[in-house]
Every structure is written in C-alpha cells, then in structure tokens.
A and B are shown apart, each in its own frame.
Chain A
C-alpha cells in the first residue's frame, strides 16, 4: 500500500465506534452524579423494556383471568389460547368461549407479504435515492441546488395529501390489491433518503474522487466503484431505517390491499384488533398478535444487532 500522507492518528476507523479508544481515565470512586445517572439510565431501560415483557405476559394469560387479576407479574390463567387464536388453531366456538372472536392471522402469508414489500421498497428506494443523491452532491449541472431544494420541500408534505391521489393512480394502473401497488409510491425515492445520502456524499473526501477522475475514470464508474463502497455505512443505515419504516407502515397498505394475497402483517394486526365491534377486547389474543407481528423485526434485530446499532450515525457529516 503506497501512502503519501503522513501516518494518520488512530483510532477513528468505523470499528472504533464500538470501543472508543484513547487513554482511560483512572478508576474513580463512583461520584454521586454517576450513581444518579446510573439510576436514571436503569429507569429508562426498565420503561423501555417492560412493555415488551408485559405483552408476553398478557399473551400467555387467559382473558377471564386477566380481568380478575390484572396485576400479577407472571402470566395468569396460563394458556396458549391467545397464540392459538392468532394462528387460527382454535375453532370459532372455542375462540368465542375464551373471549376471542374466531378471527385468525394467516401468519406465514402475511409475513411473506411484509418481507416482499419491505424488501422491494428498501432496495428500490436506497438504490435510486443514492443515484439522485450523487447527482446532487457531486455532479455539476445547472439548476442543481434549486431542484434539490424542491426535493427537500417534499419533506413537508403531509402524508394525507398524497394518500388519495396515489390510491386513484394505483387503481388506474390496475395495481390495487397487489404487493407491487403497495410498494410503488415509496419505491423510487423519499426526500429524506435523498437528503440523508447527499449529506454523506458531500462529506466524502474530494481528493480521492479527484484523483480517480484525473486518472481517467468516468463519473459513473466513480459512483459504483468508489462512492458507494465508501458510503456503505450510511447506506446500510438508510437501508435499515427504510426497512423498518416500510415494515411498520399501516395505513397505505390498508387502503391498497383487499385480500390475503396482498395483506401485510401490520394490517393483519389491525384487522385482528377490530374484529368485534361490541364485545370486550380479546386482550390475550391481541397481545399475542402484537407479539407475532413485531417478532420478525425483533428477530432480525437480534441477529444483526451490533451491525445495525453501530451503523446508525452521522460520521463524516458536515
């Protein structure tokens, strides 16, 4: 490796974000401030995590026992009925007897739909927004900044504004009740994605790019071979964020899907919740459904936790 720069002081590599180097301060007696800070932090962690435990506890209880004994920390009237109802494993009669409603979640189908939709949106949005961001950040062309300002203005448009016209458009394209129809409006770009990536592309060292260009590489090649790999961290971040957002989208998929073939997990959850207009809520079943709907994201997170958590960042932003 040839290097014409003076040696750079470590430790600022991407990996260093996990364990920040530098001289450790001598071990001090925990000050009052530190103790208070730890207490506060623990309180935050408890408030953050408790609801998840509570969902689990409720999902494993039975509805009757829940009304009778709302405080027990462990599942009361332990029963897998909630989950059975969610997966459609109970007959309508059984379900009604346990305070449920006989509706079920066709889980695997909805899971697949959610995965397909979120993947389509993420791949499309990140890729096309990266291209646009590059054009705004590094290419020179007349009106560039003005067009970018217009793109940015899109951030301010309330979602409700675009809902109905998009719906009528999807309908006239014949894409109602299809996964592609759900994915299409956000598959090409969002102002946030373009903005986010442009910030990073701006922060990428010009010198490297100049060097490549002087040596004769075309801008397209520079984009694919140089810029994208260098921005892999923010791109990964954006991809993760986009995936989560697309996965959790509720209202738009609700409008577009009519049958199981295009129903996603969040919509299925909403459907499960609103089954009976009149009888009391099937809390056990609802919490089980909530857990089931959130589980794929949580599993994904558990597997990729380190990478995801570390990739959220602004490093290099100017």
Chain B
C-alpha cells in the first residue's frame, strides 16, 4: 500500500482532526495500555458471524445444491434422480444453448462497450465542463427505476406503430424499425435500454475516481500547453485504470446475468434472437420443469463468469495506480 501524499487522500484532513479524538477515546476506555492480542480470531468470528451465516445459507449452500442438481433429472415436484453426465452431454449438443451463449456475449460486448465509453465521456464532461450537482442528479435518475420500469418505458417509446421513437424515425425518412422484434435489432435494443438505465451510475463512479486525481497534474499539463484531448489520453485514462477495472469487473458480471429486461420486453424472441442464457435457464426450469438440465446450464454460466473474472482480475492487477 502506497504512503499517502498530503494532498491525495481526503481522509488525511479528517485524520488529523480525529487523531486527538482517538486519544481521548482510548483514554476513556482504560487507564493503562492493554496488551494487544496477537490474533484477533475470536473477535473476527463475531464480526463475521452474521455475514457468514448469510453467505453460507443463502449463497454457498444453494450453489452446491445447484451443482449437485446439474447431475440429476429433477422436475421440481418429485425428488431428483441421479443421471450422471447426461445433462452435460445434452448441453454440449444443444444448439439453443450455444446460440444463447453467443447472444449473451453479443449483448455483454455491446452493453459494456457503450456503457463504459459513454460513462467515461459523461464523467469527463462532469469533471471538466460543468460541476453542477443538478446535472449529476439528472444523469443518475434512470438508475432509480427498476429494470422492469425501464423495459416498459422503452417498449412503449420504441413501439413500431405507436411509439414516439418510430414516429420520429419515419418522419425523418428512415422508416420504422421493429426494434424489439427483429433478430438484428433485438439485442442491441436491449443493450441500449440497460445502458440508458445504468450509465449514470457508472459515470458517477468514474467521476468520483476522477475527483480523486490531483489537480497538479492537469495544471502541469496545461502549463506545458497540452490540449484537453491530449490530457485526457495521456493523463486521465492511465490514472483511472484501477477505477475502470473495478467498474468493469462489476458491470461485466452483472451484464452477463441480464434477465428482467428480456423477460419484460421480448421474452427471448423472435426465434430465440434475444434468448439470453438466464432467460433460457428460467424457461427450462419454470416453464418446462427441467430443473436438472437448467442447473447444468447455470453451472456452465458460472464457469464462464469465473473465467472472465479471473482474467479480469489478473489484468487489473498489472495496473497499479500510476499515481503512486
């Protein structure tokens, strides 16, 4: 961990104020210094207990059970029947599964690509163009509504016949586009809806990262005559790497699990054009009572997410903050 320079951490100021408080606090406790226990194990266990219970019961156990179920045939109402690798054999040959993986990857690339670039742009704008909290508030507004609401709004706006979006398009001569009913436009439209909803939040995260960057570097750049554009590429982006990588890790994982929007807007159609993996799993489990196979597909998704996370983590490790 790097040592803090006097200007970088906003907590430094706070800490100077608190230092004396800390001493007061400690003195209030005991009169003589206590020997610090070498090992905080018991204390840690207490602190960690509720969270661990939550983790074990509601996260770890279902995962283990899910993995077990992937080796069974299970219709949710009678006990599962062990079938070995049958589900996985079926998975490998299942063209709908591979298609849904492809569709999901396409979605993730479009969603994350546009979202990150747009968020970066907005964050830089908020940093260099206007400091108004009002603008920040506006940008964050779509995040407040749920995925369901966002899907409904855009379903209405992009309606082929009655939506204002298509009215505008036909007025300017482009012609109506069946956004949510075309195998070409389906996924990009869903990606767009989610970008609309999430970009504000992502932008604010990046913006906060921008704020933590020291002004000195920009001053130096400006004195040297560098343009905004150059400063952006040479200074901002490299310094933002740790923030960006953190944001990317979180958003990519979330993006792979897109479901609500698809369930409301297209239900996976037309002809499986928007049948993302989580939608496929849901239909298998709750529509067709094939929970064993659905679990196998879930395990496949889990493996994919793990690989991606590991890759990302490795990549981001190599980018320590250039500030230090």
Q: Direct A–B touching in the complex (beta carbon < 8 Å)?
A: yes
A residues engaging B (CB < 8 A)? 1-6, 8-10, 12-14, 16-20, 22-23, 25, 33-34, 37-38, 40-41, 44-45, 47-49, 51-52, 54-55, 58, 66-67, 70-71, 128-129, 131-132, 134-136, 139-142, 144, 147, 151, 153-166, 169, 184-189, 191-192, 194, 202-205, 207-209, 211-221, 223, 225-226, 230, 244, 247-251, 266, 269-270, 273, 283, 286-287, 290, 293-294, 297-298, 301, 305-306, 308-310, 312-318
Contact B152 A205 (CB under 8 A): no
B:1-52 near A, CB below 8 Å: 1-2, 4, 6-20, 22-23, 25-27, 29-34, 36, 38-41, 43-45, 47-48, 50-52
Cβ–Cβ < 8 Å partners of A23 in chain B = 219
8 A-B pairs with the lowest CB-CB distances in the bound complex, closest first: A188-B54, A215-B26, A313-B208, A248-B146, A132-B51, A165-B62, A189-B51, A212-B22
Interface stretch (choices B81-89, B159-167, B180-188): B159-167
Cβ–Cβ < 8 Å partners of B212 in chain A = 313-317
Cβ–Cβ < 8 Å partners of B22 in chain A = 208-209, 211-212, 215, 217, 226
Consensus secondary structure, chain B interface: helix
Contact A273 B152 (CB under 8 A): yes
Please, how many angstroms separate the alpha-carbon atoms of A253 and B2 in the complex?
A: 44
Q: What are some 11 contacts across the A-B interface (CB < 8 A)?
A: A8-B6, A13-B10, A14-B10, A41-B130, A48-B139, A156-B253, A158-B278, A160-B294, A202-B1, A287-B152, A312-B205
Q: A131-B50, A132-B51 are in contact. List 15 more A-B contacts (CB 8 A).
A: A14-B14, A25-B222, A54-B164, A156-B302, A161-B66, A165-B65, A185-B58, A203-B9, A205-B4, A207-B15, A208-B22, A217-B22, A219-B43, A294-B144, A305-B137
Contact B302 A314 (CB under 8 A): no
Please, how many angstroms separate the alpha-carbon atoms of A166 and B212 in the complex?
A: 40
Interface stretch (choices B95-103, B108-116, B196-204): B196-204
Please, how many angstroms separate the alpha-carbon atoms of A254 and B232 in the complex?
A: 46
Please, how many angstroms separate the alpha-carbon atoms of A23 and B109 in the complex?
A: 41
Contact A211 B129 (CB under 8 A): no
Is the CB of B59 closer than 8 A to any CB of chain A? yes
B residues engaging A (CB < 8 A)? 1-2, 4, 6-20, 22-23, 25-27, 29-34, 36, 38-41, 43-45, 47-48, 50-55, 57-63, 65-66, 76, 118, 121-122, 125, 129-131, 133, 135-149, 152-154, 156-157, 161-164, 167, 196, 200-201, 204-205, 207-209, 211-212, 215, 219, 222, 228-229, 242-243, 246, 250, 253, 256-257, 259-260, 264, 278, 281-282, 285, 291, 294-295, 298, 301-302, 305-306, 309, 321
Cβ–Cβ < 8 Å partners of A47 in chain B = 196
> Of A44, A144, A297, A316, which contacts B11 at CB under 8 A?
A316
Contact B44 A218 (CB under 8 A): no
In angstroms, how far is the closest chain A Cβ from the Cβ of B261? 11
Contact B215 A22 (CB under 8 A): yes
Q: Which of B41, B45, B152, B298 has the most CB of A within 10 A?
A: B152
> Of B6, B13, B138, which contacts A48 at CB under 8 A?
B138
Residue on B nearest A125 in the bound complex, by CB: B54
Cβ–Cβ < 8 Å partners of B222 in chain A = 25
Known: A12-B7, A67-B162, A216-B29. A161 touches B302 (CB 8 A): yes
Residue on A nearest B140 in the bound complex, by CB: A309
Contact A3 B50 (CB under 8 A): no
Contact B302 A251 (CB under 8 A): no
Contact A162 B62 (CB under 8 A): yes
Known: A203-B11, A208-B18. A141 touches B63 (CB 8 A): no
In angstroms, how far is the closest chain A Cβ from the Cβ of B272? 18
Contact A212 B26 (CB under 8 A): yes
Cβ–Cβ < 8 Å partners of B122 in chain A = 41, 44
Contact B20 A316 (CB under 8 A): no
Contact B211 A156 (CB under 8 A): no
Please, how many angstroms separate the alpha-carbon atoms of A233 and B140 in the complex?
A: 18
Contact B154 A51 (CB under 8 A): yes
Known: A142-B41, A157-B302. A132 touches B162 (CB 8 A): no
Please, how many angstroms separate the alpha-carbon atoms of A12 and B15 in the complex?
A: 12
Cβ–Cβ < 8 Å partners of A192 in chain B = 250
Residue on A nearest B129 in the bound complex, by CB: A37
Contact A318 B153 (CB under 8 A): no
Please, how many angstroms separate the alpha-carbon atoms of A3 and B60 in the complex?
A: 48
